[in-house]
Structure 1
Amino acid sequence: MSEFLLPDEITTLARRVVEENAALGRTVAVAESCTGGLVAAAITEIPGSSKVLDRGFVTYSNEAKQQSLGVPSDIIDAFGAVSVACVFAMARGALERSDADVAVAISGIAGPEGGTAQKPVGTVVFARAIRGNDTPDAESQFYEGQDRGGVRLQATLCALELLLP
């Protein structure tokens, strides 16, 4: 069986995530929507990743976000799945439902459909939650001019960067 093919930039960053977190004895969890498991796949491509990756949640639908991560429906109703409030709740839910020390959540609009004037295709929102810290970090990115695959790969890179110590 051949290795999963990921761009070298992603594999290199995933290796750093595994090595640097392993050196600290730190474990991670990922809560993915638009990336569909690419972040977890990148991490598990690296030997030794079992020491670092506690678990991954692929919660593509709003219902999955609610059921698997405990995202309140009122957050999705009020702000949408692609919002800081939603990814905060996703990251917190990933920590609550895992033994990880840090969790990253990703939700976005990869396209080609689904964008709006307020949230165009290429909009991706990220949150990082660290156990013991009640305030997750969040950021939004806009990957203009990218196709669906490009948005997903850029989002994967950003999520991996957020998992570095």
Structure 2
Amino acid sequence: MSSSTHPPTLTAKYTHTSSTPHEISIPLPPPPTPQISTSHSKHHHNDPSESSKPEALHTSPSPVAIRSHLKSLRDAVKQVQAEMNTFLTNKMEEEKKAETLDLGNGKGKAKGKSGAAQAAEYMERDGEVEEEMDDETKALEAEVEKLRREEEQERIEKGKGKKRKKEKE
């Protein structure tokens, strides 16, 4: 994300096979740097040469600096999201307009169909599938009805056979 010569940036890139890539970059503030202070060594009070040398102390950035930096990062993410959403919304609207023009010119079955054209096509296919299922269902219902009649006919014939046996007895 950052290097010593370039300021840090937040970058988001949209790529799709049917369009050119779109990139959004937002410059970020540099991260907070550790605070450096100097202190004289307290370890060697007896050695005058050691006690006079200052030591560099590195401490964490202040909590205020850290919070400020994190807030700027969150703001940058929100800005990138907003810009990407705007880009994608505009892209969808352009595709929808192009599809409307294609449908008006009789090019409804073009390769690059938008979501609305695909949904309409799926609905049409679903209707055809339902019709096919209706035909299959009707055939099955007719077969079931035929089997019921045959079973009923068998019961009637068995019933007649029992009556005849009783009459003979």
Q: TM-score, normalised by structure 2?
A: 0.18
Name which structure has the greater RCO, CA cutoff 8 Å, separation 6+: 1
The structure with the largest helix share of the pair is 2
